[in-house]
Structure 1
Amino acid sequence: MVSLLKPLMDKHPDFGTVFAYVRPLWYDDLSSIEEELRNREEEDRRIREKALEGDIIKDNEVPPRRVLDLYSYRVVPWWVAAMLIGLPRAVSHAWMDKKDRESVWTRINGKQWPVFLPLGIDSRLLRNEWLNEGCQYVWVDVFCLRQEGGLREDLRVEEWKLDVPMIGFVYGEPARLVWNAGPIICYLSGLGRPLSSNVDMTSDRSWFRRAWTLQETSTDCVIAGLTDEETTEQLESLRADIQNAVPPLAGLSVFTTIPSSLVMRVLSDMKKRVSSYSIDRIAGLAYIFQGTQVPAYYKSQTEEEAWLKLWRASSLECRAQIFFFFPQPGRGEQKWCPTWEQVLSEELPVVECDPTEKWYGHLYYEKEGPGRPFAWTGHCIKDGYVCGLAKEDPSVRVRSGELRITDGSGTTHTFRITANHQYPIPEDSYELWGTSGTGSTFTSFREPRALLKYWVLGHRQGTKFEKFSIFQINEEDERQRLIKSGLAQGPNAKGEPRLRIDLC
């Protein structure tokens, strides 16, 4: 036995770590342990190297680099425990203020970096609480994510490029269901601290106000740190607060339909949150707005750089939502979407949609394309006159106007339109682009309630379209009249969009 374990003991003098490495393979052929671990490590290395390409993570389902083994109480690479767990139980918490926490150097993580714990918290009690929850392995950032102030700062910077964006995968509800990871363990008063009966939701250190905890919002969670003081009513109220924080986040994945209100709801919530680093509020959106790729994390980049990279990697539907729902042209490099400064400074419109409404807008990003790479495919009205929306009217939340279109015979058709914002739209002729209702990659049906409902107006700049503002045709009978008139050019007989425009 000693001879079999000696290579591990030479590499890891700490017996707890050796036990953590051997435990998942204990019932296999012990003579092959060294080879099996070597093969797993090599495969994990290939996965991580392949996932990161430049400043983009091409695989949005990369498992966490490390997990905390509660039986040995040691942090080990994910590949050591992968055969037993798939994904670990995720622990969600908000960091305490510097004056209310301490840095602990511990054998739990091999003393590779300081573990930041709230003052007075014994890590052994954390272990007991998680074991009592039935956990074998957990993921919690202070233990499993390399922290600043450790032995290898150069390694931390490299690891964070991949590891920080992939935190969202650990907490994502679909992934946890598929991997049978169990509900999130949530500390509302600080890691390991007893739950306060009066959780301050307005504090900058509140779980409800931190940027990173937005992606940890889930319909299922276990509230940790319970004492004998909490009543059933208080616990149910706290669970409701968590689950209702941003309802559209429930159950999101690239295989589910993205609610029409998602982007504006999430941005409205995130702009009120706080973070240690300025770009974290943007980085915390990456997994929520995901396409099949996620931007790598660079703490040194500017907010606007991070914001543009976010939209390059986001899903087609999320790009379409910011295109159709933000009422002003962008003030930066891209006109089709706002700058991050605009999101923070401008009042975002309230998007009210039928909860069952599903529409699919395809706003493409072509990395290899010439010029500006963003393009929209959908319905188009080449020349429409918009009136009635030139002035602000603070007395109403939704303004009313008209869209007038003249057909080939000289007949003018008038349609009632609305604007859920106060941005003035001068009376003029515009080129108009609308939602097509075309099916996504995973569905083939059409949703009539979204067809021609949302519109962007603007003007041509050469071969590109420059957005000016937005409006809606909310009344179903008005949309049906527009559809039957044939004035809006759209998909061909097979339902395939044949109109496409590059965006400024």
Structure 2
Amino acid sequence: MLKKWWHDLTQRNRSSGIIIPLQKTFAHQQESLVLTPGQADTKSSSPEQVLAKLNAIFGTSLDINYGSLRSRLQSFIKQDLDFGAIYARLRSCWPRDRDHIDARDDAVKLENGFVEAKRRGASDVRHRKASTGVQTINAPHSIKPRRLWDLYANRVVPYHYSYGTQQDAPVWAISHSWTDNMHHLEGRLLTSVNGREWRIPLPHDVNLEAVRTELLNLEAEYAWLDVLCIRQASSDPAKEVMRKSEWMVDLPTVGAVFDRYAHRVVQYMNGLGRAFEPFGWDEDRHLLNRVWALQETQADSVIGGIPEWIRDPHDAINVFTLERFGERLKSLSDFEAIRSGTEMVSVRDFTHIVNAIKRMKSANPIDKVFVVAMILCQERLPLYRENISAEEAWTICVENLPSSLLGVFLFKSPIPGNGVATWRPSWNQLLASGALELYNDLPFVFIPGLVLSVRPDGKASYLGPVVEAHFTPNSHTGHPKGEVIIGSGSLKEVRCVKLLGNHSLPKDDYYFVGEGYELTWLVCLKTKEGFFRKVAVVTTANGTRLGGFDKKYEHCVFV
């Protein structure tokens, strides 16, 4: 009964025209530079008409006959660009210094600024292409966003048009929860904002102009919004080919947009442009419960869609649970510190990420794997291929994780992996209940002598001490302990060890591969090809080293 009443209340609030003050009107000192939708949609038939509008907006007196201004504007008209699209391409490099007005110099400055923006744009394209490998993206944080929403012009343009002759313009990135209806092609908005290149998915009760108005009132000039800046699904087969190609790079580098290029982040908790609500925080579609949100937060993020009766959403109290929203929001904000400290990954941080991902929702199972990659893989990221399995995505992700985590998988995962590799857990094992309990007691990972890398075939290479030994389980105790006999003939040494994990290990001859301290050892068998197959992990009793007469350092390859 209570649930039905809550549902009715939610729907009533969303359809009753809640007043969101920042979405009503825009009034700012830069208002003269902001086009109305009608102004942006206007098309001109001559360069003179376009220049007259631009001079009026900027208060300049550029002459159509100076420099290449006429041919530049004529080129835009031939491309069938409306005034908003033309304005967006010239605005960032239009002369602004009105102290010394010289129309001829202004025309030169404009042309130089436009040429420089185009040059940097071509450089961005080359860099994106050069960074894209067969399976991975190199230096992903250096790849700039492909597009931006110019809020003044109300047009989506390539990122380089925000350059001009200045430094990169401050970008506001928008984090929002996709509502159910946004995943359907039917009803999507076809708009001139993105040149009608693809239909825009929006919540059914949201007006894109209202979102723009709110962002302008927050003093944003350029915004990155996924539905506008990442190519969306289309019924056109040719455009679908383009979308899949762009998604391979654009989706993995979303985290870089928020981490490196976003000046501020705006969060819409209940859907893009929708009002913030003091309830429903456990809904599957709430931003708090969407896995992509883990990489889209900043400490000073702004919550969008604030109704007129809420002064500070952080102080909002859940009308059902009496929980303060600011406390719940910590589940997202904690991840900013983790993302900024990935050079030395704490095991506790890793378990925190995976445990959060386990409870969060995603439209595609592989999205959870990619969020792990986006947070933890700094040098290379897997390309996004939406049709591969989560296990396939995890295999590519593992290859690019920090070596400290690879060492944890190898030496601290108590049972062999049940996927394509035995040396590390499969994705399903990692998400299994209780799988990370052993890791929680470990501080920062440091495995001395560790030289670990993952080969393209998924095998792990490691250089460490290797001992041929015989393991005998001890059946006289309630704990899975046993003895290791090292050496042969009259030269042998007996040591007590304890198996990690609640499982048994049969009496047999094995290879023991140790980490640098020689306190934790992998129990392995060898394949006929000479590879090591992980069977179990043991630790030495009482913290004593498991030395041996026949110990030697060996290059090991684990399957």
One fold, TM greater than 0.5? yes
Q: CA-to-partner distance for each residue in 1:166-185, whole Å, 9 max, x for gaps?
A: 1121123xx35xxxx33432
Q: 1:331 aligns with which of 396, 411, 418?
A: 418
For the Cα contact (< 8 Å) 1:9–1:15, is it kept in 2? no
Cα separation, partners in 2 of 1:270 and 1:123, compared to 1, 3 Å: same
For the Cα contact (< 8 Å) 2:366–2:390, is it kept in 1? yes
Cα separation, partners in 2 of 1:354 and 1:336, compared to 1, 3 Å: closer
Q: Do structure 1's residue 365 and structure 2's residue 454 form an aligned pair?
A: yes
Matched residue type, 1:306:
A
Q: Give the drift of 1:146.
A: 0.4
Q: 2:89 aligns with which of 21, 30, 34?
A: 21
Q: Counterparts of 1:252 and 1:384 in 2: how far apart (Å)?
A: 44
For the Cα contact (< 8 Å) 1:94–1:207, is it kept in 2? yes
Give the equivalent residue in structure 1 for 2:278. 197
Q: 1:109 aligns with which of 185, 194, 216?
A: 194
Cα separation, partners in 2 of 1:455 and 1:88, compared to 1, 3 Å: farther
For the Cα contact (< 8 Å) 2:314–2:325, is it kept in 1? no
TM-score between the two structures when normalised by the length of structure 1: 0.79
Q: Give the drift of 1:50.
A: 0.6
Q: Give the drift of 1:158.
A: 1.1
Q: Give the drift of 1:69.
A: 1.6
Give the equivalent residue in structure 2 for 1:374. 460
Q: Counterparts of 2:131 and 2:266 in 1: how far apart (Å)?
A: 28
**Which residues of 2 match residues 277-426 of structure 1 at below 5 A?**
277-345=364-432, 347-350=434-437, 351-353=439-441, 362-367=451-456, 373-383=459-469, 385=471, 387=473, 401=481, 404=484, 406=486, 410-414=492-496, 417=498, 419=500, 421-426=501-506
Q: Counterparts of 1:387 and 1:218 in 2: how far apart (Å)?
A: 52
For the Cα contact (< 8 Å) 1:390–1:426, is it kept in 2? no
Q: Counterparts of 1:427 and 1:262 in 2: how far apart (Å)?
A: 37
- State the aligned residue count: 460
Q: Counterparts of 1:12 and 1:162 in 2: how far apart (Å)?
A: 29
Give the equivalent residue in structure 1 for 2:207. 122
Aligned with 1:192: secondary structure? coil
TM-score between the two structures when normalised by the length of structure 2: 0.72
For the Cα contact (< 8 Å) 1:215–1:285, is it kept in 2? no
Q: Give the drift of 1:32.
A: 2.8
For the Cα contact (< 8 Å) 1:88–1:137, is it kept in 2? yes
Q: Counterparts of 1:92 and 1:206 in 2: how far apart (Å)?
A: 12
Range with greater deviation from structure 2 (80-89 or 59-68) = 80-89
Cα separation, partners in 2 of 1:337 and 1:411, compared to 1, 3 Å: closer
Q: Give the drift of 1:214.
A: 2.8
Q: Give the drift of 1:197.
A: 0.7
Q: Counterparts of 1:324 and 1:249 in 2: how far apart (Å)?
A: 28
**Which residues of 2 match residues 450-461 of structure 1 at below 5 A?**
451=517, 455-461=521-527
Range with greater deviation from structure 2 (251-260 or 145-154) = 251-260
Q: Give the drift of 1:92.
A: 1.2
Q: Give the drift of 1:210.
A: 2.4
Matched residue type, 2:266:
I
Q: Do structure 1's residue 58 and structure 2's residue 109 form an aligned pair?
A: no
For the Cα contact (< 8 Å) 2:247–2:384, is it kept in 1? yes
Q: Give the drift of 1:159.
A: 0.7
Gap regions ≥5 residues in structure 1 = 394-398, 437-450, 491-497
Q: Give the drift of 1:258.
A: 0.9
**Which residues of 2 match residues 176-255 of structure 1 at below 5 A?**
181-201=262-282, 203-227=283-307, 228-229=309-310, 233-234=315-316, 237-245=324-332, 247=334, 250-252=337-339
Cα separation, partners in 2 of 1:310 and 1:357, compared to 1, 3 Å: closer
Q: CA-to-partner distance for each residue in 1:132-184, whole Å, 9 max, x for gaps?
A: 33322221211111000265222111111111111121123xx35xxxx3343
Q: Give the drift of 1:413.
A: 3.6
Q: CA-to-partner distance for each residue in 1:399-425, whole Å, 9 max, x for gaps?
A: 77466464795443435x473x43444
Aligned with 1:468: secondary structure? strand
Cα separation, partners in 2 of 1:356 and 1:100, compared to 1, 3 Å: closer
Cα separation, partners in 2 of 1:296 and 1:70, compared to 1, 3 Å: same
For the Cα contact (< 8 Å) 1:106–1:114, is it kept in 2? yes
Give the equivalent residue in structure 2 for 1:154. 241
Q: Counterparts of 2:504 and 2:476 in 1: how far apart (Å)?
A: 5
Q: Give the drift of 1:74.
A: 1.5
Q: Give the drift of 1:17.
A: 1.6
Q: Counterparts of 2:153 and 2:119 in 1: how far apart (Å)?
A: 22
For the Cα contact (< 8 Å) 2:233–2:243, is it kept in 1? yes
For the Cα contact (< 8 Å) 1:109–1:143, is it kept in 2? yes
Q: Do structure 1's residue 501 and structure 2's residue 556 form an aligned pair?
A: yes
Range with greater deviation from structure 2 (239-248 or 147-156) = 239-248
Matched residue type, 2:131:
A
Q: Give the drift of 1:376.
A: 2.2
Matched residue type, 1:257:
M
Q: Counterparts of 1:265 and 1:48 in 2: how far apart (Å)?
A: 32
Q: Give the drift of 1:115.
A: 1.3
Q: 1:95 aligns with which of 178, 190, 193?
A: 178
Q: Counterparts of 2:264 and 2:504 in 1: how far apart (Å)?
A: 47
Q: CA-to-partner distance for each residue in 1:15-69, whole Å, 9 max, x for gaps?
A: 1121111122123711334533432232122112111122321231211111112
Q: Counterparts of 1:244 and 1:168 in 2: how far apart (Å)?
A: 17
Cα separation, partners in 2 of 1:456 and 1:196, compared to 1, 3 Å: farther
For the Cα contact (< 8 Å) 1:271–1:343, is it kept in 2? no
Say which one has the larger Rg. Answer: 2
Q: 2:216 aligns with which of 119, 131, 134?
A: 131
Q: Counterparts of 2:120 and 2:525 in 1: how far apart (Å)?
A: 56
For the Cα contact (< 8 Å) 1:219–1:243, is it kept in 2? no
For the Cα contact (< 8 Å) 2:468–2:512, is it kept in 1? yes
**Which residues of 2 match residues 68-83 of structure 1 at below 5 A?**
68-82=149-163, 83=166
Q: Counterparts of 1:223 and 1:253 in 2: how far apart (Å)?
A: 22
Give the equivalent residue in structure 1 for 2:545. 482
Q: Counterparts of 1:55 and 1:471 in 2: how far apart (Å)?
A: 35
Q: Counterparts of 2:476 and 2:116 in 1: how far apart (Å)?
A: 70
Q: Give the drift of 1:311.
A: 2.0
Aligned with 1:118: secondary structure? coil
Q: Counterparts of 1:365 and 1:243 in 2: how far apart (Å)?
A: 34
Range with greater deviation from structure 2 (206-215 or 157-166) = 206-215
- Aligned-residue sequence identity (percent) comes to 24
Cα separation, partners in 2 of 1:30 and 1:86, compared to 1, 3 Å: closer
